[in-house]
A and B are shown apart, each in its own frame.
Chain A
């Protein structure tokens, strides 16, 4: 379950970067509206799935890190995961705030409206948008670090940390 959620969130977050970067320079219009409605809906979904995944982790804690990792490595692993979760939770909220401050109500996949968190305010919109954009770059950097660390575990340390996150069908037959 934790694994499935991880990969679903990966796909959604990747699409967030693609749609976000694509929509940002678009002029105001229906295409931008469509793209951003999708972006916001997926963002809210990511938020909900991350909450679900954290609850799941709390219910069934993640396996321990391999023995033999240096304290600094353990700290790095721990810190980067906290930062990842933190950004995955704050970016959707910052986007939601930016929408509301721009006088836009967030509608989830054209199905239902989410409550407005703030009154329209151009000043707030500017701040939350800048934070959302900066946060997105941080998330992108952290994702790269996360992927690099996964391969480091696989190829340098050979401790099987990456494999335990892969679905069975992706593993070599002898390891299943």
Chain B
């Protein structure tokens, strides 16, 4: 009896969480959900990170409890060009031997309007931590099983010491790098 009650209540909790009350979420693994667009000689140069983890908690009653954490495996960078993937892992760019991970940890979140939020937090890349604010949208899918997060922000690569030495010249490697999140989330157990 106790177990079935527990089961029922956990099912209900799941149902509620899908209905977007207080809940935590994790991403559904899908390709090209964390991408970036750098530029080479003025032409766009897109790529993606294949491995990352993310956890998003939204609390309707107490926004102070909202949180977002993203950890990116920088070694999983894929630009479709093997030589460039190799170069990106060297100390001219990410220096993945020393800093294999990039991370974002939220300090605060604000709901701007229904489905629209901004998150402010600490982004750490290559040992440099900066506070950034990123707007994002949070829209449940039609069947209510998933919630879609879309966000885009532009990082200045020099802020994090990315693209050093021969790569520094912004004529050949653009300074701004767009980072795009297009992630579907499901309730985290």
Contact = CB atoms under 8 A, between A and B. Distances in A.
A107 B41 contact: yes
Contacts of B167: 29-30
B42 A28 contact: no
B43 A103 contact: no
Q: Give the interface SS of chain A, mostly helix, strand, loop or mixed.
A: loop
Given A33-B172, A122-B80, A122-B82, A110 B166 contact: no
A75 B173 CA distance: 50
Contacts of A103: 45-47, 79-81
A107 B43 CA distance: 6
Contacts of B171: 110
B40 interface: yes
A44 B85 CA distance: 27
Nearest to B84: A28
Contacts of A34: 41, 172
Interface residues of B, number: 22
B40 A33 contact: yes
A110 B45 contact: no
Interface in A86-115: 102-107, 110, 113
A38 B19 CA distance: 56
Contact of A104 (B81, B166, B169, B172): B81
B43 A105 contact: yes
Contacts of A113: 42-44
A121 B81 CA distance: 9
B173 to A, nearest CB: 8
| Most A C-beta atoms less than 10 A away, residue of B41, B44, B47, B79 | B41
Nearest to B46: A103
Contact of A30 (B45, B80, B169): B169
Interface string B53-89: 0000000000000000000000000011111101100
Given A104-B81, A110-B41, A30 B47 contact: no
Contacts of B40: 33, 104
Given A33-B172, A102-B81, A103-B80, A28 B44 contact: no
